[in-house]
Structure 1
Amino acid sequence: MHNVMCLCAVGGEVLFEVDCTRLSECVCLRGRQFDRVIFNFPHCGRKSGVTKNRLLLKHFFLSCVGVLKEEGEVLVSLCNGQGGTPADRPMREWHNSWQVVAMAAEAGLILNEVRPFDSEKPDGYQSTGEGEECVGEGEECVGEGEECVGEGEECVGEGEECVGVGGYVLRPSLLEREEVLHGVSGLVFQRVPISPWSPPAFHQLLLWGAWPKASQSIPDLGRSLQRLLTPYGLSLTEEQGSLWLAAEPMGRLGRLWADDLTDDVSVCLNLDLLASLVYSLPDWRLLWSPDPRFLNHFLLRPLPEQPFHPFSLFPQSFVYDISFWAGPDWQEAEFHALVREASRETVENVTLIDTYTPNTQTDTHPDITHTSYCYRLTYRSHTHALSHTLALKRHTHLQGLLSTRMHLTVR
């Protein structure tokens, strides 16, 4: 009662018998929107199981969406282990937790912060070792991203010598390099299979120029790039006269090669993968997100030593298999393009699990010219909420498109 009186004394309004799963139906709350909704230690009462408490969270989050402002957030205090996230210590088995990330995703919300519960703030509260989950609202949208690339120059080649530590070679004009080194950057598009680090569209930087003894300059250029990017795990491998730049987990992200006939040296870099490597991005799709939480991080021009902190914590992944019969005119590239369309770029990996072609002598399949394919699709999003319901809906939509668009027989 003391806390109620304190709230009223500072202009607060206290309402009783409000159903947290039907906030928009409360007469006193109709037409009102809030910056923050707080639910401390939700529980169905008595010895209710985790299933009932999950439903309580789900319906609470769905109810909150109707009374939240566009940039509003929801704070939920849970006992340690109930959330079912890696932040819980100890972490319960997923099936034995309240699955706060999954329940919030059903309402289009993402988990963006986890912090210890401050037992000193609530007046009269006795701490029993709880933790707090902070869930903020997410948006489902995909757009174009921008990145800033700074200038730099290495002294490489005959006739030039790098000054020692603390010294610099200053160039008086770019005109002297106009006919030596050229560069262009822009968007490129490729029809590539869906995999975690194979973007179909990305920003590419291409440098080329004339160098004396071009093939001998490649190792020097490679070492220069390696010195710059070794702290981020970059390695160089030689294959068929070219040097490839690679790093884990994205694989190859650049190539250097030479043409001794024309004395041309070329460098090609995937800037999206390079930015993901340098700033520790969990997914290249973040570079295309218009979410202000992502863009504001780079408006401050952070140094590479300041890695990006994801605004969507512990996003769930959903795995579904799909099987179908395809004829001899089957094109796998069209299948991957249709997966991107149906899933709205939320499928991060497609793996061929199995194929089967009927035996002409022993099999009774009506069309022995067809082959059965089984693929495994992994759905996950680092940019917006992806619930089990939404992932299943998009997977079902894909099955329909395979039948109507590609005329495949889905099994």
Structure 2
Amino acid sequence: MAPRRLLLVGEGNFSFAAAQSETLDPSTTSIIATCLQHPADLARDPLAGENLQRLRERGTEVRFGVDCTQLADAFELHDREFDRIYFNFPHCGRKAGVAKNRELLAKFFQSCADVLAEAGEVHVALCRGQGGTPADKPRREWHNSWQVVAMAALGGLILSDVHPFSCEAVPGYKCTGYRSQDKTFHVEGALNHIFTRSLPFECFQPRIFRIRLGDQWFSFPEPEALTGKLNRGFLEAPSCHPIRTINEKLIAELGKAFSLKRLKCPFPLLSQGDTSVLTSWNYDIVSAAFWISLLEDNSNSESLTDGTTQDMEEFLLSFSELSLPGDPERDDKEEAHEGIYGQAKVCLRPSLLVHVQTVIQAPDFLPGSLYILSGPVFKKCLILPFTMPAFHETLLILEFNQNLKDGCLQSLLDHLKHILDSLLTQTLLEGSKLSSSVEFVLQQNGKDYMISVKSHNFDPDGAKDLIIGSVTTSTISIIHKERCFVFVSMNLDLLAMLVCGISDWRMLWTSDNRFLKNFVSGKIEPFKSYSLYPPCYAHDISFWLDEKKGFDELEFHTVAREVSQDTVISIQFLSRFQHPKTEQVSLCYRLIYQSCDKALTKQQVASMQSQFRKEIQQRLRVIPR
């Protein structure tokens, strides 16, 4: 195994390099120590001379005149893969302000991208308050800090860890000032910031999926708001995703108290007729669905990209079993297909409740057995911290006699509460108090419940009530009066966030394999984020409304989600203005951009905001001001 390669830049008196060389095993670690100065510049510094002698005696490579903002120029192409790059207490010198030092950091991080190994780390030590992150105590105002995380983003790097910098941990290290001046930096309260590569922030195009119905092929584009979220297989074996682990544990515990019937979840593409069961419960669910146009596609599947072909084959598993209603006036199969697809009456499943009627009307449906269905669902929603356009749902279906309703329902709720409370304590440290508790909140109709979790995990100052599911009793419109049903729907993504301490739902959908490395199949583990304190960027937008068209706020949020690739985390309404003469109405909103797993730069956000202005003008018929 090749030794780890360490690159030390900006060395002043080389005491850090000397300490590292004498601490680390040369058989497993090689060090290259560099500084901007030339040997003549260090001739008057006896400490530097002593340390250089120590380095030479140990065979450590030393290079002079190395500019940390142009590292690629200092190393040949075959000599650039460094596992760690250290830069301790960077500074432009003398009375350089924060802007100059930000520029230094930005150029350094961009330079690191050229010489850092794929899984490498960049270590930057900064004096107290300079970084501008919540880890600084006290924390400076953002504009008065070096904005280290935002500067690192310019090099495609994210902050993965931060801890106190201790000179005592590096025996013999003596921090120097700029260019080895006698005046040293104040290192009390200093922090070491550890950066790693982010996945590239590419402009992903929605994938095209091909599906077969009978002997016909059709294609449809992935909705832009769901780019990268279709067909991920989180619930399928051998996935070790925490959503699957929690779902399996939930089902296993229910199996101890009930006779279980586990059903395979159908394909999430539905015809318009399949959504009729929802309208009696919640019309808003149907209105917020992602509707899709199916196009006849006779192209050769071999011409598709590898990724699309793989997705296509998995999509075929259940789609051929779809029952699409035909036009009653046209019996010909091909004409019926043409009518359905031409009318684009197809949507992605907004809830597993669409499958209730099929399950309970099946000939082999058994009263008293607990039927379980788990799968992904998709629906448009406002941009809020705990709402998501795609998530995984588990649906429980239980039938019992009307006379036994109260006792059976209470038994199911008691078991659910016990199981959920147990899951929420899985990752607690020994001796810790329960930070979350499950409650069933009775609704105004006196028969249905919302499943609420009062959690302190995401709001240290106060408990946050999160609705993770619902309990719905049967309605006469679909059930015989003497039969009583209960349907329990739970949002597995929210449950996983609570159990594992994942504060951002978008992290569940990341493609970065570092996320799954936190978890072992079948075991619940607390999540340790590898992307800390990502910077936020605020942009305001105001526009004139078209009185005839009105304003669809849900679509406004959906466009923002699409254009920003889910980096808009908040949309705040600021003001409404009506022109005194024309009476035309203008609205003003503030968009907050932040990525949870990728390096997001100020420049990228500005580009997204510009594109957002164009999109709402075209799609919502508003006029940006």
> Could you say which residue in structure 2 is the equivalent of 1:394?
608
How far apart, CA to CA, are the structure 2 residues paired with 1:188 and 1:206? 11
> Could you say which residue in structure 1 is the equivalent of 2:486?
265
TM-score by length of 1: 0.85
> Could you say which residue in structure 2 is the equivalent of 1:288?
509
Structure 2: runs of 5+ lacking an equivalent: 1-48, 176-186, 202-227, 235-240, 263-363, 422-433, 456-463, 476-480
> Could you say which residue in structure 1 is the equivalent of 2:291?
none
Please identify the structure whose Cα radius of gyration is greater: 2
Question: Deviations for 1:86-143, whole angstroms, at most 9, x for unmatched residues?
Answer: 2223333333322211211222211111122242454522474333111222114666
Question: Deviations for 1:340-380, whole angstroms, at most 9, x for unmatched residues?
Answer: 1110100112233333455xxxx332xx5x53222221211
Matched letter for residue 87 of structure 2: F
Q: Would you say the 8 A contact 2:259–2:370 is kept in 1?
A: no
How far apart, CA to CA, are the structure 2 residues paired with 1:72 and 1:266? 49
Q: Would you say the 8 A contact 1:215–1:257 is kept in 2?
A: no
Compared with structure 1, are the counterparts of its residues 26 and 208 closer, same or farther at alpha carbon in structure 2 (3 Å cutoff)?
same
How far apart, CA to CA, are the structure 2 residues paired with 1:318 and 1:69? 29
Compared with structure 1, are the counterparts of its residues 172 and 392 closer, same or farther at alpha carbon in structure 2 (3 Å cutoff)?
closer
Higher relative contact order (CA 8 A, sep 6+): 1
How far apart, CA to CA, are the structure 2 residues paired with 1:364 and 1:89? 53
Q: Which moved more, 1:196-205 or 1:370-379?
A: 370-379
How far residue 27 of structure 1 moved from its aligned partner, in angstroms, is: 5.4
> Could you say which residue in structure 2 is the equivalent of 1:131?
191
Matching of residue 244 in structure 1 with residue 450 in structure 2 = yes
Compared with structure 1, are the counterparts of its residues 171 and 117 closer, same or farther at alpha carbon in structure 2 (3 Å cutoff)?
same
1:92-171 equivalences under 5 Å are: 92-126=140-174, 128-129=187-188, 130-140=190-200, 144=232, 145=234, 146=241, 147=243, 148=245, 149=247, 150=249, 151-153=251-253
Structure 1: runs of 5+ lacking an equivalent: 156-167
Compared with structure 1, are the counterparts of its residues 225 and 46 closer, same or farther at alpha carbon in structure 2 (3 Å cutoff)?
same
2:377 to 188, 192, 196: 188
Compared with structure 1, are the counterparts of its residues 216 and 374 closer, same or farther at alpha carbon in structure 2 (3 Å cutoff)?
farther
Q: Would you say the 8 A contact 1:140–1:383 is kept in 2?
A: no
> Could you say which residue in structure 2 is the equivalent of 1:165?
none
Residue 529 of structure 2 aligns to a residue in which SS? coil
How far apart, CA to CA, are the structure 2 residues paired with 1:30 and 1:214? 73
Coordinate RMSD, CA, aligned: 2.8
Matching of residue 408 in structure 1 with residue 456 in structure 2 = no
> Could you say which residue in structure 1 is the equivalent of 2:591?
377
Matched letter for residue 409 of structure 1: I
Compared with structure 1, are the counterparts of its residues 87 and 302 closer, same or farther at alpha carbon in structure 2 (3 Å cutoff)?
farther
Compared with structure 1, are the counterparts of its residues 302 and 381 closer, same or farther at alpha carbon in structure 2 (3 Å cutoff)?
farther
How far residue 256 of structure 1 moved from its aligned partner, in angstroms, is: 0.8
Compared with structure 1, are the counterparts of its residues 250 and 57 closer, same or farther at alpha carbon in structure 2 (3 Å cutoff)?
farther
Q: Which moved more, 1:117-126 or 1:371-380?
A: 117-126
Matching of residue 18 in structure 1 with residue 66 in structure 2 = yes
Matched letter for residue 203 of structure 1: H
Question: Deviations for 1:13-62, whole angstroms, at most 9, x for unmatched residues?
Answer: 22111111111223556762212111111111112222211111111111
Q: Would you say the 8 A contact 1:214–1:259 is kept in 2?
A: no
Residue 233 of structure 1 aligns to a residue in which SS? strand
How far residue 401 of structure 1 moved from its aligned partner, in angstroms, is: 1.8
Q: Would you say the 8 A contact 1:23–1:29 is kept in 2?
A: no
1:1-400 equivalences under 5 Å are: 1-26=49-74, 28=76, 32-126=80-174, 128-129=187-188, 130-140=190-200, 144=232, 145=234, 146=241, 147=243, 148=245, 149=247, 150=249, 151-153=251-253, 179=367, 180-212=369-401, 213-230=404-421, 231=434, 232-239=436-443, 240=445, 241-247=447-453, 248=455, 249=464, 251-259=466-474, 261=481, 262-299=483-520, 301-303=522-524, 306-327=525-546, 328-329=548-549, 330-358=551-579, 363-365=580-582, 371-400=585-614
Matched letter for residue 45 of structure 1: G
**Count of matched residue pairs:** 389
Q: Would you say the 8 A contact 2:537–2:594 is kept in 1?
A: yes
Q: Would you say the 8 A contact 2:83–2:117 is kept in 1?
A: yes
Compared with structure 1, are the counterparts of its residues 275 and 257 closer, same or farther at alpha carbon in structure 2 (3 Å cutoff)?
same
Compared with structure 1, are the counterparts of its residues 2 and 194 closer, same or farther at alpha carbon in structure 2 (3 Å cutoff)?
same
How far apart, CA to CA, are the structure 1 residues paired with 2:409 and 2:260? 26
Q: Would you say the 8 A contact 2:80–2:114 is kept in 1?
A: no
Question: Deviations for 1:169-204, whole angstroms, at most 9, x for unmatched residues?
Answer: 798999x99652211111111121111111011101
Matched letter for residue 132 of structure 2: G
How far apart, CA to CA, are the structure 1 residues paired with 2:407 and 2:502? 35
Residue 390 of structure 1 aligns to a residue in which SS? helix
Compared with structure 1, are the counterparts of its residues 42 and 117 closer, same or farther at alpha carbon in structure 2 (3 Å cutoff)?
same
Residue 403 of structure 1 aligns to a residue in which SS? helix
